[in-house]
Structure 1
C-alpha cells in the first residue's frame, strides 16, 4: 500500500509526516523506517524509528532507490512501514516525470508482496499530478 502526500512548500507535508511516523511507532507491530534528505527530522521523530539520511547514498535515479529499499527489506524482514520524505529531492526529478509514477507503482507492488506500507511526500502542486500519482492520494 502506498500513500502520497503532495503539496507545494509550506503546506504542512512534513508536519503531517512527523505525526504519522510517531503514531506508526506505537501502532505498527514491526519496524518503521524513515528515509529523508538532510537531517531535519532527527529530533522530531521517536527514537525507535530507523532514520536514514539518503544524501549519504548518492541516489541518482529510481533504480538506485529501488535497490536501496530492496536491500533494507533483505536486511530486515520485520519492516512494516517505510516513510519517504521529499521523494523528488532524494532522487532529483520533476514531480510530473513519468518515472515518479512508475516508481510509485513499483513501491505498491513491492509493498503488497512483502506486507510493507509506504508513505511518500512529494513537494509539488498536487493539481499537476498525473492520474497515476493521484491514485495514491
Structure 2
C-alpha cells in the first residue's frame, strides 16, 4: 500500500508526516523507518523510529532508491511501514513519469512484502500524473 501526500512548500506536509510517523510508532506491529533528505525531523519523531538521512547514502536516482529500500528490507524483514519525506528532493528529480513508476514499484514491493509506504512530494497536487492520483 502506498499513500502519497502532495502540497506546495509550507503547506504542512512534513508536520502531517511527523504525526503519522509518531502514530505508527505506537500502532504498527513491526518496525517503522523514516527516510528524509537531511536531519530535520531528528527531534520531532519518536525514538523507536529508524530515521535515515538519504544524503548520507547518496541516493540520487530512483534506481538507487529501489536498491536502498530492497536492502533495508533484506536486512530487516520486520519493517512494516516506511515513510519518505520529500521524495523528489531525495532523488533530485522533478515530479513526473519516473516518480509514477517508482510509486508503482513501491506499491508492488509493499504488497509482496506486507509493507506500507507513505511519501510526501513538494508539488501542487494538480501536477500529479494520472498514475500518481490513485495514491493521493
TM-score (norm 1): 0.98
| Residue-by-residue CA offset, 1:18-77 (whole Å, 9 max, x unaligned) | 000000010001000000001000000000000000001111110000000000000000
Structure 2 residue 28 is the aligned partner of structure 1 residue 21: no
| Residue-by-residue CA offset, 1:103-134 (whole Å, 9 max, x unaligned) | 00000000000000000000001111111011
Counterparts of residues 1-137 of structure 1 (less than 5 Å):
1-95=1-95, 97-137=96-136
Alignment RMSD: 0.4
Query: C-alpha distance in 1, partners of 2:32/2:23?
Result: 11
Unmatched 5+ stretches in structure 1: none
TM-score (norm 2): 0.99
Query: C-alpha distance in 2, partners of 1:123/1:5?
Result: 9
Unmatched 5+ stretches in structure 2: none
Question: Is the partner of 1:102 in helix, strand or coil?
Answer: helix
Moved over 2 A (4+): none
